[in-house]
Amino acid sequence: MLEHSKLNSVKSINLELTDGWNYSIQLNRWFLKPIGAWPLTLCETTMEKIACMILTVVSCFLICFLLIPCTLCTILVDTDLDTKIRMIGPVSFILMAAVKQYILITRSENISECFRHIRTDWSRVALAREKDREIMVDNAKFGRWLSSISAMFMYSAGIFFTTVMPICARRTEIIDNETVRMLSFPIYRGLFDPRTTPAFEIAQFTQALAGYVIYTITIGVCSVAAVFVMHACGQFQILMLKMDDLADGKERKSASSTHEGRLGDIVKHHIRILSFITRTEELLNEICLVDVVGCTLNICFLGFNMMTEWEHRKTLGTMTFSSLLISFTFNIFILCYIGEILAEQVPKLVYKSARSLI
């Protein structure tokens, strides 16, 4: 009877570990797998690894399908200044996505180590007290919420830009009275002429798929940053609880009963948190720079596009560019906000340390 009770207890702990870890990184998996940015070392089967590599190739091809024709069209086609400015915005956004995809793929081992670190922390907290588990769940829930809001803004704005606008846009007349349908992203006609059927439909469908890829890359980066930083904040909060227990003389399940043992457990936990933050910083440094600089430039271009659309009384275009503007602004806000939350943990930790030593 006792052995059966112990077996049920172990199964309950393992289930809690699996559910907690999956709950924490679930959105990361959903966003990174379709674009082939999920680490191969975390793939469980050979077929899953092959599928991930195929998705990587497909996503890179779709990004190139947008980037190369858009860049050539922006540079080589003689147009007025307003049109040039309108073309630069999409090119810069695609270039941002290409750089972030490159960083995610080349640093997949770093991402994998961070995910393993999170899994180990969940296994540790499964044996700890209820308060520690509540802290980790609350921080995981907040990281998921930030990821969900980012996805909602980016996908809603992206659907309007890549599908609704081209379908609802009015056909324009050129000099020889030939009707031209507008695509989401400009294409250099020296490479591919999308003015006729079925070339237009093929280009439009491919651009829609490529748009999904670049939007998912943007969301995936914000999701990884939010989940990793909020996990680090949760570990800092648990560390501060351990310091409170040390000051109050309480014993914890995961620590030694002696004062020296509990102090050593605190030091080891602190070093572990710092190592996780170092890995996260190495992963997100360049990505955050690209995101902040690129989104700032795109906000300026979107502001110009909004004024142009408003001047010509184009309601759909104004709504679409407004949605994109909100999405880019929220992405910058997420990166700045989670960075501020993490920075605030240091003064709190210093205060707890001073209180424990007094």
Residues 258, 261, 263, 266, Cα dihedral to 10°: -130
| pLDDT for residue 179 | 59
More confident residue, 244 or 312: 244
Q: Which residue shows structure tokens 């308060």?
A: 131
* 134-to-23, 125, 137, 156, 197 alpha-carbon distances in Å: 13, 10, 5, 33, 58
| Average pLDDT, rounded, for the chain | 81
> Shortest CA distance to 128 belongs to which of 214, 234, 39?
234
Q: What are 254-296's pLDDT values in tens digits?
A: 545 666 777 778 888 888 998 999 999 888 888 888 988 888 8
| Residues facing residue 173 across a β-bridge | 179
Q: What are 181-201's pLDDT values in tens digits?
A: 677 788 877 777 777 778 788
176 confidence band (pLDDT: 50, 70, 90):
low
**Whether 303 contacts 325, CB under 8 Å:** yes
Query: Is residue 252 scored above 90 in pLDDT?
Result: no
Query: Is residue 250 scored above 70 in pLDDT?
Result: no
> Shortest CA distance to 181 belongs to which of 208, 207, 204, 157?
204
CA gap 13, 125 in Å, rounded: 10
CA gap 205, 162 in Å, rounded: 9
